[in-house]
Structure 1
Amino acid sequence: MRNAEDVLHASRIRDAVLRIRDYTQGMDQAAFVSQSLISDAVSMNFLAIGENASKLSAAARALTSGIEWRDAINLRHRIAHGYEDLSLSILWSIVVVELDPLRAAAERIMARS
């Protein structure tokens, strides 16, 4: 039986990843760091990812080995409660390294939940 809540939260994660990809298409780190409108939009989508990750069931998380859901949730907390201390270079690193696996994990949850 499909878990509609997990599918909903995974689809929101996937959509946030797609928006981040759209916002940062063709950018390098210097462009990202210099454009506060883009970095703010990306940060808001990381908030959405972390919020929805916190609502995934343990069963859904178990479908996605290799994804550190706690890290996504902690990033959400860091953005929400300490934005002035947020390193844009770390955010950029997450965009470059973590987004594709995160999207694949969300799609796996959507397909199997």
Structure 2
Amino acid sequence: MLKHDLVRVKHMRDGAEEIQKFIQGKTKNDLEHDRMLSLAIVQLLEIIGEAANKVTPEFCAKYTQIPWKSVVGMRNRLIHGYFDIDLNIVWKTVVDEIPSLNKALTEIIKTEEFADGETAE
């Protein structure tokens, strides 16, 4: 594993954790009417996707539980379709997908740090 793969996965995990904090106690209606919340969530999804795009193919092949292409695809859609973001899809993603993504990323970090003899952050 290249060191930068783990750094990128940590960036992804950090973004996922932030999203979960931001939406705690919120509804889809909040996302639709709170511009700051929607901009923050979209930016974090873009960061997660950009970090995923920088992970090496070898690392992606090792951890197939992460839908790497879908994560990058979401980033691309948000970046290039910024004028037409569907907040229903964003909400569904953060509620249905981000918790399991966060859990899987945390497990990958623990596995990789254990293999390298590091301490988990």
Q: Is 1:64 matched up with 2:63?
A: yes
- Amino acid in the other structure paired with 1:102: L
- Cα distance in 2 for partners of 1:38, 1:69 equals 25
For normalisation by structure 1, the TM-score amounts to 0.89
Tell me: higher relative CO, structure 1 or 2? Use CA pairs within 8 A at least 6 residues apart.
1
Identity of aligned residues (%): 28
Gaps of 5+ in 2: 113-121
Q: What is the Cα-based RMSD across aligned positions, in Å?
A: 1.5
User: Residue 92 of structure 1 aligns with which residue?
Assistant: 91
For normalisation by structure 2, the TM-score amounts to 0.84
SS in 2 for 1:41: helix
Contact 1:6/1:109 (<8 A) preserved:
no
* Deviating more after overlay: 102-111 vs 32-41: 102-111
How far off its partner does 1:56 sit? 1.3
Gaps of 5+ in 1: none
User: Residue 117 of structure 2 aligns with which residue?
Assistant: none
Q: Is 1:37 matched up with 2:36?
A: yes
Contact 1:10/1:106 (<8 A) preserved:
yes
